[in-house]
């Protein structure tokens, strides 16, 4: 129930349980949650087939298992999670992970080339609840994919401001009477 069948890594449920366990520690030691999303994975499945895609995911898991880089789990699809102790050098870890996943993946069908983007959030600085911590890491990942694909981005105060702006816009759109407030003109 706590292991991903394809990669033999801890699964989503185990990953969330580990975050909660660390957040409940009495010592309050900081740690980082990293969300790793593969860049260019869909074309592997489309070009080489799902069996080749599964082989790439197994190799990704193998490359991510480096013990000195922290606790790793597969969250589903082409997304992985990493938990790293608080004093770790995230820039170096991010470079090692992204560099390791940018190396070619030899397959029977050919060679696959992918990359990875990572979003990190620090407990308790970015958030004190596991849910908010994951939300912050996810926002940092989104920022990496949009602005710095193939790199690791740590959640920062300016991201918090952007999250608030997005939330305000979403709430305004939910309250809006779009039929009454917009006039469509076609060109």
Q: In this structure, what are the phi and psi dihedrals at residue 122, rounded to the nearest 5 degrees?
A: -100, 130
pTM, entire model: 0.85
Length of the chain: 187
pLDDT at position 107, please?
95
Q: Using CA atoms, how far apart are residues 89 and 18, in angstroms rounded to an integer?
A: 21
Q: Quick one: tokens of 183?
A: 């006039």
Residues facing residue 79 across a β-bridge: 37, 76
Note whether 71 and 11 are within 8 A (CB).
Answer: no
pLDDT at position 159, please?
64
Q: Using CA atoms, how far apart are residues 112 and 9, in angstroms rounded to an integer?
A: 22
Q: Using CA atoms, how far apart are residues 29 and 69, in angstroms rounded to an integer?
A: 17
Tell me which of 4, 37, 39, 78 is the catalytic residue. 78
Q: Using CA atoms, how far apart are residues 137 and 91, in angstroms rounded to an integer?
A: 15
Q: Using CA atoms, how far apart are residues 98 and 121, in angstroms rounded to an integer?
A: 17
pLDDT by position in tens, the chain (length 187): 999 999 999 999 999 999 999 998 877 789 999 999 999 999 999 999 999 999 999 999 999 997 678 899 999 999 999 999 888 899 999 999 999 999 999 999 899 999 999 999 999 999 889 999 999 999 999 999 988 899 999 998 776 677 667 767 778 788 888 778 878 888 7
Q: In this structure, what are the phi and psi dihedrals at residue 126, rounded to the nearest 5 degrees?
A: -80, -35
Note whether 21 and 69 are within 8 A (CB).
Answer: no
Q: Using CA atoms, how far apart are residues 22 and 82, in angstroms rounded to an integer?
A: 13
pLDDT at position 116, please?
97
State yes or no: cis peptide before 124, omega within 30 of 0.
yes
pLDDT at position 141, please?
95
Residues facing residue 106 across a β-bridge: 111
Identify whether 78 is a catalytic site residue.
Answer: yes
For residue 17, give the H/E element and its range: helix 12-24
């Amino acid at each position: 129930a706590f292991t991903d069948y394809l990669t033999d890594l801890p699964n989503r449920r185990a990953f969330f349980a580990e975050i909660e366990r660390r957040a409940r520690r009495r010592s309050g030691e900081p740690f980082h949650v990293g969300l790793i999303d593969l860049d260019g994975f869909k074309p592997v499945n489309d070009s080489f087939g799902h069996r080749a895609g599964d082989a790439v995911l197994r190799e990704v898991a193998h490359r991510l298992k480096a013990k000195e880089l922290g606790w790793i789990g597969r969250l589903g699809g082409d997304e992985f999670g990493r938990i790293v102790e608080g004093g770790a050098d995230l820039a170096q870890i991010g470079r090692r992970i992204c560099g390791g996943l940018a190396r070619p993946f030899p397959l029977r069908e050919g060679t696959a080339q992918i990359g990875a983007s990572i979003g990190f959030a620090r407990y308790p600085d970015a958030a004190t609840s596991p849910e908010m911590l994951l939300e912050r890491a996810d926002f940092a990942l989104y920022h990496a994919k949009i602005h710095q694909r193939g790199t690791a981005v740590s959640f920062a105060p300016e991201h918090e401001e952007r999250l608030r702006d997005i939330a305000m816009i979403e709430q305004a759109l939910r309250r809006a009477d779009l039929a009454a407030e917009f006039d469509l003109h076609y060109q």
